[in-house]
Structure 1
């Protein structure tokens, strides 16, 4: 789905796994809160496209999507690497730096403007990431000195970021994309999430898919 060459699970066939796409991030948040009541193992995460201004202040909601009336605060600094399992952290939204190495039952992912789909292809933009994101530190100077290398490095980092975020949930992943075309791209995987097909096949335009084999 993210057009990364290697994938641990090329097919969802036979896997009891939930995947859904939301048109509104508030609906996504409500779904995660609902699932979290079961075992405190559902959380929200997002691409690092917003500055972390409220690092130590619970009053600042950093992740803002005004057109959807959505806002959440980045995770507070007090929980450190254990943010993902802190009982109250369902009210916060995590990023790549606070959820690596930890797994949940369900994950809700907000895909920012750093990754969009255009004509069926994943297009990344390192300039849409927060300048505080240390994973792309030095991107702007590199972009001036060697644009091709800078874009390639950022492309790999951004794709791997979302792969990590989207695989934190062992039982399900739910997404909202800020870009409408990108949301529609991921929606096709809802149809195929329990079908006998691979992610690669599902990503192909419908007129390019092979017809089913005849039963004769």
Structure 2
């Protein structure tokens, strides 16, 4: 059975990713009340879960170049920064608009900028002059303070707190409940462990854990 929301908008959304992040994206999309139809396309590397009432296409069986343009917008729903980047590149190559899902309870400053392909979840805060790059996830109750920068394809987990002027490099993962102090830079493709408190700059491509956060060898 295909799902059709009882709302006047006629936009059709394809959620590319039918796992855990896909169901989270679905809830966010429904809360926006922007879409009359929402379907899923699984990600071959990750498979899919059961999502009753919604159509799920299998990536391995579909012509992506034909399927993607049949929707008004597409959002990539994967916690993997690399997969989000890969799939978003395919969407852009097909000339299909990227969706940006912003939960209605999120608070975003008028002077902040959220790029295409992002998912901003419930009660997230993005304050003045902050910038969130393409394909980022800002999870539930996360705080991106004033003048912060999150480069493309970053995943900011629930209850993360970023102090003012903090910077997160491309494709980095910021674990649940972690804190990044003011003016701190986390390099590209780095991981901040859950609950860590980052008080010093983090180089590219490393993992830091603990309070205060230290490089895991």
Q: How would you bin the TM-score normalised by the shorter chain?
A: under 0.3
Identify the structure with the greater strand proportion: 2
Larger relative contact order, structure 1 or 2 (CA cutoff 8 Å, min sep 6): 1
- Taking structure 1 as the reference length, what is the TM-score of the superposition? 0.28
- Taking structure 2 as the reference length, what is the TM-score of the superposition? 0.28
